[in-house]
Amino acid sequence: MFRSTNVAARVFERQILTPRPGATINLVRHFYENLVPSCTICDIDCPDHSFRKITDDGRYLVSFSRNLQDIIVYRPTWLSFSFKGGNFDYQSLTQKAKKFDSFFTQLYSVSLGSSSEFICKDFFLYLEDHQFGLFATSTAQSHEVPAIEGAIHGVPSIEKITFHLVRLKDGVVMDEKSFCNDFVNLAHSMGVFLYEDLLCIMSLRYQTIHILQVRDSGNLVDVRNIGSFCLEDDELFLNSHAQCMTVLNKSKPVGNVHESANGIHHQQVAQASAFLTGIKQRLLSFIFRKAWSEEADPILRVQHLKKKFYFHFQDYVDLIMWKAQFLDRHHLLIKFGSVDGGVSRSTDQHPAFFAVYNMETTEIIAFYQNSSEELYSLFEQFYDHFHANSRESVHANFISSHSNNIHALEQLWSMKNKQSSFSQFVKKMMTSVPYTCQSQSPSPYFDVSLFRYDEKLISSTDRHRHSTDHPIKFISRRQPNVLKFKIKPGLETSGAEARTKKICSFLFHPHLPMALSIQQTYMQPTVVNLHLRIWMELEVVVIPVRMFWIEGLALRG
């Protein structure tokens, strides 16, 4: 905790202050109270690209061309200006400062799409260790799909989805992985979870979780597929069993075994479809064992089983996997729901369930309904572990959440107290689990201990929001009435224009006091603003004072 709010005093105090163990970053972050992006360059003249994200290490700004065929990567830099002599030319500085090129240098442009495949502009994942970016291209979505063996009804299909692994340093495409006639939820990277070097891709149509590893060489390697089969040799065992049966019954034709790019063998042998999928079997056996062990008395146990298990048996069988995330390298958290429940916002009619699955032992460890208070208490205490941040990712560990920040926790409690029904509140909170990785910006301006801001207008989650005409205020947390800076997302609008709906999205640089706000209005060109801090005042103050510092220290001591 710094004693003064003045930045020069804080710089000197930092030289002698030892932060609390493990809290160095929290202390150093206080400097962001002094260095705020208070200047706005409205409607900066920038290329007409769809800006996606500034990577979490601040090295790259990733954008897509309007026709969604190319990726264009920029390097965020900072304007530097020096002058000699007494006459400072403020005009030329402002001219330079208003250019997009002063802050972002284009590195390269790479074409990923083709005539039929377009880049999914909501999808981007970044592997910080190797500076790899994961992009997705897909063909058009079709809802009218014939039901085929292995695919569930009611989920749309995309003819081809390709994931591209690109080395962002130079734009070289390292590897690609395609899924045909499948559906992966690419919006906001929700269907894919990245943990260290492991990728978990949720194939909704075939109800399979594909685990891939990103190697140092840039290759995407299959690790396992969880869905029809859990263990690697389950398929071999069932195939050999099926072949034995067909040898005995020679009259029955042997089904075709054809392999698609998904790596799934579609067998049309009757015996295979008689089994429930491997993951479903694990789930049902877990529910059965749990219900069995809840009652000691044998007669009451049967009644209990009837009520808890057999009565709901078909509902459990009809559950499908909606979303999955890693909890660590061996454990997955899988959300189960009904077929039509995934897209609806309402949590009442469509119950959702969460299961913790150990990939090594192929066991289900826990199973909760989304209204479970036990799960909610874990959510309230250990939400950071649902983020599944690896230890190497420094920035992500300091994103404010209600498990690491008292102000966020107070906000959560006040929301809890306002709700009339606790189970409704729990269900609402559980919609944020499983977590969508890399969906929150690590910028210190979103740190709830430093600033107070309206979460409906702006927050660390990168979602489009309705933009208002009023600037978004960031108020200091420590000095409750002091406004630190404002972000004005758009141009001054007249009354008529103000009625049209505007959507705004924000890209904050992870450690520089710089942010891009992108305002989109229907049928009008996109407006991009740059919010930044002009550094000029700082250098003039600090240097002369330092010369007297050592003497001052000795005299006091």
Which residues contribute to the site for another protein (CB under 8 A)? 289-290, 293-294, 298, 302, 306, 327-328, 331, 356, 365-366, 374, 378, 382, 385-386, 551, 554
Give the residue with the Cβ less far from another protein, 275 or 310. Answer: 310
Measured from the CB atom, the residue of 306 and 456 that comes closer to another protein is 306
Closest approach of another protein to the CB of residue 407, in Å: 22
Q: Is the CA virtual torsion 287, 388, 264, 124 positive or negative?
A: positive
Shortest Cβ 293–another protein spacing (Å): 5
Please work out, in degrees rounded to the nearest 5, the angle formed at the alpha carbon of residue 309 by the alpha carbons of 303 and 313. 135
By C-beta, is 383 or 485 nearer to another protein?
A: 383
The two three-digit tokens of residue 219, written as one number: 């290759």
List, in sequence order, every residue forming a beta bridge with 180; answer none if it has no partner.
Answer: 160
CA distance 144 to 147: 9
Q: Judged by CB, which is closer to another protein: 160, or 331? A: 331
Beta-carbon contacts of 510 under 8 Å, excluding residues fewer than 6 positions away, are 54, 55, 56, 57, 58, 395, 441, 442, 443
Smallest gap, in angstroms, from Cβ of residue 355 to another protein? 10
Closest contact distance (angstroms) between CB of 368 and another protein is 10
Pick the closer one to another protein by CB: 543 or 554. 554
Q: Read out DSSP for 245-267? A: HHHH-TTSPPPPEEE-TT--EEE
Q: Which is nearer to another protein, 167 or 290 (CB)?
A: 290
Comparison of 331 and 416: residue with beta carbon closer to another protein: 331
d(CA 332, CA 376): 18
> Tokens 């800076």 map to which residue?
485
Q: What does the CA dihedral 383, 384, 387, 388 come to, rounded to 10 degrees?
A: -120
Nearest approach in angstroms of CB 557 to another protein is 9
State in angstroms the smallest separation of the CB of 416 from another protein: 20
SS3 assignment, position 374: helix
Nearest distance, CB of residue 302 and another protein, angstroms = 6
The CB-of-8 to another protein minimum distance in angstroms stands at 22
Q: What is the DSSP string of 56-114?
A: TTSS-EEEEETTSSEEEEEEE--------SS---HHHHHHHHTBGGGTEEEEEEEE---
User: Element (H or E) spanning 150, and its range?
Assistant: none
Least distance in angstroms from the C-beta of 195 to another protein: 12
**Nearer residue to another protein within complex by CB, 64 or 353:** 353
Q: Phi then psi for 8, rounded to 5 degrees?
A: -65, -45
CB 446 within 8 A of CB 385: no
Shortest CB 238 distance to another protein, Å: 23
CB 87: neighbour CB atoms within 10 A? 7
Beta partners for 193?
A: 200
- CB neighbours of residue 411 within 10 Å: 15
CA distance linking residue 329 with residue 388, whole number of Å: 10
